Amino acid sequence: MSTLVQGNRTRLLFLLRYLAMIGLALVVFALLLLLFGKDPLRAYIDILSSTLGSSYGITEVVVKMIPLVLCACAVMLPARIGLVNVGGEGQLYMGAWLATWGALTFSQLPQALGIPLVILLGFIGGGLWALIPAILRAKGWLNEVISTLLLNYIAILFVGYFVFGPWRDTASANFPQTPKFVDAMRLPQFGDTRIHLGLFLAIAAVVLIYLVLRYTVWGYDMRAIGGNAEASRRNGLPITKTMLMVMFIGGGLAGLAGVGEVMAIEGRLRPNFSPGYGYIGFLISWLAGHNPVGVVMMSFLMAVLTFGGDTLQITQGMPFATVNIIIALILFYCTGQVLSAESEAVSYGYVLCHRGARRRIAGGHCRTLRRPG
């Protein structure tokens, strides 16, 4: 019981420190606004009133959260085994591209088959694109940080080729976009809002990741590999197989974000349809400490800030890039908090003892964590 209470207390303190860091970032941003002759209180009121002050604002925040949560999950899952996936943007585009191919090729299918088809194709498209850097890393040929980042630009240009070329809609005044998707291929939206089926995909992704990491043998193996890959390899854990599988699933989740954007919001594939969801998702996952619950909370915060940034342009006469300053400040302070927490954790000395048990040594006391199953 005392161990449980101590664990809850530690998590509460960590959360409070995180909130303090976010508050400090907002205070620093307010000082910057004052420096440039703007009213920070008015700016924050404008952001909150435009996002949470009306039903329309709330629904638009949820719409923004859907791709952010999925892209953050695409980063969070590989991070649990020590991989850094910066390629969420490219995986998002490739998921949208393959889903678009399916929507244009099989446009005669009924809705009951069309929607599952584009969702599956979007997942496969993003997953296969993520497998490229995963294979390069598994072979020891190239670090995944570099490969995933560079593949983003290749994916965007690849999609642009089809939008400007073979898939271009000649009936739309030669504007670079595909023909409009038939209704049977579009993700349904709810009521008069733009909230769509992708919301349930995002919720399912977060819940499944949480349950897998916490209660399954595979989740335990991932935590062990992330803690000490070499010790895990010596104890027989399938490092390469886990790496490929995790990157494929992560890329698939980013691909689902692309499906939601083109199959629900846009209704067709356009160039540059993403305002950088993949990159913001990367920041969200790191800000949340790669925690599923934290991902949802940070996605909400980022959705409020990005949607509220449009309001600041009108009410305060500030460029949208102002929002990037807030996000950068939050990232700066929260990353400092994470690094500080990690340096403290070194003294606890997490040691992988053998396959089936992990011992935590702290102040001379040992606690063994059993492998599920």
The predicted-structure confidence for 173-191, as pLDDT tens digits, reads as follows 778 899 999 999 999 999 8
Which segment of 54-68, 135-149, 327-341 scores lowest on mean pLDDT? 327-341
- Is there a contact between 301 and 18 (Cβ–Cβ < 8 Å)? no
Q: Is the dihedral of CA 35, 37, 38, 39 positive or negative?
A: positive
Percent of the chain predicted with pLDDT > 90: 47
Higher pLDDT, 236 or 339: 236
Would you say residue 309 has pLDDT above 90? no
Note the pLDDT of residue 134: 94
Helices (H), 165-274: 198-215, 217-227, 229-234, 239-260
What span, in angstroms and rounded, lies between the C-alpha atoms of 257 and 274? 10
* Helix 277-287, helix 321-345: angle, nearest 10: 30
Tokens 């997953």 locate to 127
In this structure, which amino acid lies at residue 173? A
Measured in degrees and rounded to the nearest 5, phi and psi for residue 189 equal -105, 155
Note the pLDDT of residue 333: 65
CB atoms within 10 A of CB 102: 23
pTM across the whole model: 0.84
CA proximity to 90, closest of 243, 276, 350, 244: 276
What span, in angstroms and rounded, lies between the C-alpha atoms of 62 and 280? 15
- Is there a contact between 246 and 171 (Cβ–Cβ < 8 Å)? no
Note the pLDDT of residue 354: 38
Would you say residue 372 has pLDDT above 80? no
| Number of residues that this document lists for the chain | 373
Would you say residue 13 has pLDDT above 90? no
- Is there a contact between 282 and 109 (Cβ–Cβ < 8 Å)? no
- Is there a contact between 247 and 85 (Cβ–Cβ < 8 Å)? yes
Could you tell me the domains of the chain? 2-370 (1.10.3470)
- Is there a contact between 137 and 143 (Cβ–Cβ < 8 Å)? yes
CB atoms within 10 A of CB 43: 21
Q: What is the pLDDT of residues 329-363, one digit of tens each?
A: 777 766 665 555 555 444 444 444 333 434 433 33
Burial class (CB in 10 A: 0-12, 13-18, 19+), 196: buried
Helix (H) or strand (E) holding 41, with range, is: helix 40-51
DSSP code of 194? Answer: S
Which segment of 86-90, 145-149, 231-235, 239-243 scores lowest on mean pLDDT? 231-235
Q: What is the pLDDT of residues 43-56, one digit of tens each?
A: 888 888 888 888 99
Note the pLDDT of residue 221: 85
Alpha-carbon distances, residue 9 vs 194, 279, 345, 351 (angstroms): 39, 32, 16, 23
Tokens 């965007």 locate to 156
Helix (H) or strand (E) holding 335, with range, is: helix 321-345
Higher pLDDT, 69 or 364: 69
The number of helices, as runs of H, and strands, as runs of E, in the chain is 13, 3
Q: What is the pLDDT of residues 240-283, one digit of tens each?
A: 888 999 999 999 999 999 999 999 999 999 998 998 899 999 98
Helix (H) or strand (E) holding 166, with range, is: none
Tokens 């927490």 locate to 341
